[in-house]
Amino acid sequence: MFKGYKKLQVDDYPASQQKTLELDSDWFKPGRNIIKLGFKHDTRDDSCTDSCCPMYYTKVSFPQAVRKTYAVTITSTPSGGDVYINSKQSGTTPLTTKLKPGEYHVEVKKSGFKNMAKIKKVQKNNVSFSFDLAPKPQLVSIFGSPGQVELYIDNAYKGTLPLGLELDVGEYEFEFRKKGYKSKRERVVISAQTKRINRSLEQVEVVPDKPDRQAQNVQVALTPTATAPEVQPEKVKPPPAKPRKKVDGYAERVALVIGNSNYRTAKLANPVNDATDISAVLTDLNFDVITVTDANKRQMIKALDQFAQKLRKADFGLFYFAGHGMQINNRNYLIPLKATVQAESDVEFEAVDAGRILGRMRLAGNKLNVVILDACRNNPFARTFRTSTRGLARMDAPIGTIVAYATSPGSVAADGKGRNGVYTKHLLSALKKPNLDIQDIFNEAGRGVMAETDNQQIPWSSNTPLPQYFLIKE
């Protein structure tokens, strides 16, 4: 029960006027209550009863009390992280603030560290949110001398050097191996400052064995036996090699093509078909193609590792992805199958960061890279997020790179009605046309998409100035 009086404002007393009434709040329980208001037609007296005037009914909610605020402390190790309370920036750690009772989503972000978030109910004083921030994985370049040194980390094979690996801050056991050279095993500490590791192996000195005794000449007489006449095998002519299209430019080309369709929710019709058809065209254009469809995160990362190794020996690298993608805090993420996302903070761990793919391609040091993202569908997890941004964010292309989107940043592309998505359908057509410069290929595909969609979908690309380059030259 309430004590004392509560004021109730009546907006129509009569029409276009206001009246404030004082009601004994002991009459009402917390929650929604029905209030009767009676008005005399002639005197406008608000003290009448049922017998003297018509009655008006309304429902009024009375809170249990004036809502209190509670002290909340938010800390992080290290300190200095930006604090977001229900997606609103509220200061930096350590932070003490006051919040009304309720449930809050608190997230801490700090450059160089992984974002962390917690959800708690605030129902009393001195509630604390404590975050032990973990450093982001470091992109480390690892080199070895001589070439083709094999690298093992914690007894797991990682590939042949040079390599670009994302490693969490911590201590690892590195082993460098190469046949004919002494292996090198050591403990390596990866810190936020670790960017490059270079190791050289010593060649093993080979000493020829000295025979203990002189080899003796042994003569063996063989008795000829009757043998069947020798049958000459029939010579089989190999099938004629499939003629390759005449191509211009870099001799070594490698591509990674990924298409994800069969998501648990929000399945897509086209991406697997898109990836299959793009792979076939690129193979015909002398690309060494790695194709992955309906892949989970582990399979996508494994394919990316294989691609990165091949890319170091190539001149031209191409990455293509069709499927669901999203942007969180202006970073683009490609969604694998079986991703479990209940909050924005899950995305970093469940999805593949497109920016890191771009970084690994840049680290390979080849002449030309192309990244194609047909992943601008609606965010399949938008309902679980407090806020949601449409499409993908803009990524600026490094030197020697083209980044191509199925539609402009912040916009959404629809799945196609036929075998392929609208963008990939026109991209396939442009890739097969001779005498198109690499930038003209994306212009050609973009014009086709805009014409088909009546300018509702506008493809977009980002690149630095590039030399003229043709996939097919006639």
Q: Distance between CA atoms of 420 and 422, rounded to whole angstroms? A: 6
Give the pLDDT confidence score for residue 363 in this predicted structure.
Answer: 86
In sequence order, which residues have a C-beta less than 8 Å from that of residue 354 and are 6 or more positions away? Answer: 321, 325, 331, 332, 333, 334, 371, 373, 392, 395
Give the pLDDT confidence score for residue 428 in this predicted structure.
Answer: 96
Q: Distance between CA atoms of 348 and 387, rounded to whole angstroms? A: 16
Q: Is the pTM of this model over 0.85?
A: no
Give the right CATH number for 253-463 from 3.90.920.10, 3.40.50.1460, 1.20.20.10, 3.40.50.80: 3.40.50.1460
Superfamily per CATH, domain 70-132: Immunoglobulins (2.60.40.10)
pLDDT digits (tens, 9 = 90+) for 305-350: 999 999 988 989 999 999 998 888 888 899 999 888 777 778 888 8
Please give the structure tokens belonging to residue 416. Answer: 């196609």
Give the pLDDT confidence score for residue 468 in this predicted structure.
Answer: 79
pLDDT digits (tens, 9 = 90+) for 377-390: 665 555 444 445 55
Give the pLDDT confidence score for residue 3 in this predicted structure.
Answer: 43
Nearest to 318 by CA among 378, 350, 275: 275
Give the pLDDT confidence score for residue 319 in this predicted structure.
Answer: 97
Rounded to an integer, what is the distance from CA 257 to the centroid of its chain? Answer: 16
Backbone torsions φ then ψ of 203, nearest 5 degrees: -75, 140
Give the pLDDT confidence score for residue 222 in this predicted structure.
Answer: 45
- Crossing angle for the helix pair 354-364 and 297-311, nearest 10 degrees? 20
Q: pLDDT tens per residue, the chain (474 residues)?
A: 344 444 555 555 454 445 555 555 444 555 555 565 554 444 344 444 444 444 444 555 544 444 588 999 999 999 999 999 998 999 999 999 999 999 999 999 998 888 888 988 998 888 999 999 888 887 888 888 888 888 999 888 888 888 888 888 888 999 999 988 988 999 999 887 788 898 988 887 655 555 444 444 444 444 444 444 544 544 445 445 444 444 444 568 999 999 999 988 788 889 999 999 999 999 999 999 999 999 999 999 999 999 999 998 898 999 999 999 888 888 889 999 988 877 777 888 889 999 889 888 988 888 899 999 998 666 555 544 444 555 687 777 778 899 999 887 767 766 667 889 999 999 999 999 999 988 899 999 999 999 998 888 888 888 877 777 888 887
Domains 138-200 and 253-463 share a fold: no
Give the pLDDT confidence score for residue 448 in this predicted structure.
Answer: 92
Give the pLDDT confidence score for residue 233 in this predicted structure.
Answer: 44
Beta bridge mates, 200: 145
DSSP output for 148-214? S-EEEETTEEEEESSEEEEE-SEEEEEEEE-TTB--EEEEEEE-TT--EEEEE-PBPPP-PPPPSSP
Give the pLDDT confidence score for residue 289 in this predicted structure.
Answer: 95
Residue spans per domain, the chain: 5-62, 70-132, 138-200, 253-463
CB 44 within 8 A of CB 74: no
Looking only at the bridges linking them, the beta strands covering 316-322 and 253-259 are parallel
Give the pLDDT confidence score for residue 46 in this predicted structure.
Answer: 44
What is the architecture of the domain spanning 138-200? Answer: Sandwich (2.60)
